[in-house]
Amino acid sequence: MFCKNNTIEPRQLLDGVHLQTLVHGEKTLMGQFTLAQGARIPAHSHPHEQTGIMISGKMLFTIDGEEREIEAGDSWCIRGGSEHSVVALEDSVVVEVFSPIREDYLP
């Protein structure tokens, strides 16, 4: 499956948080998230493993109670079931892959 970036409409997930589902297969889904400075993703968990890389910006992650400041070029992997939250310290762009695919993120 291929996808041209200019054909993807972003959708708002939360205030200041937008998702573009880039591509997906049977077992993985990749999305690009943009977060405005100050945007928050509240603490939550899901069964999906979540692997990502920060393209630009700076965010504060809290994963299972551990805080980590992430900036451009940094990457992470959050195991399924882990409680995590995010605060965008700057306007930020991240790309993340979920396995298995997140049905709620399908186009």
Tell me: pLDDT of 85 over 90.
yes
Q: How many CB atoms lie within 10 A of CB 19?
A: 20
Ordered by start, the domain boundaries in the chain are: 36-98
Q: How many helices (H) and strands (E) does the chain have?
A: 0, 10
Extract the tokens encoding 36.
């405005």
Question: What are the tens digits of pLDDT across the range 28-59?
Answer: 999 999 999 999 999 999 999 999 999 999 99
Pick the CATH number of 36-98 from 3.40.470.10, 3.40.50.10490, 1.10.620.20, 2.60.120.10: 2.60.120.10
Report the C-alpha gap between 38 and 106 in whole angstroms: 26
**Cβ distance 27 to 100 under 8 Å?**
yes
Average pLDDT over residues 69-82: 97
Longest dimension (CA), the chain: 38
pLDDT of residue 4: 77
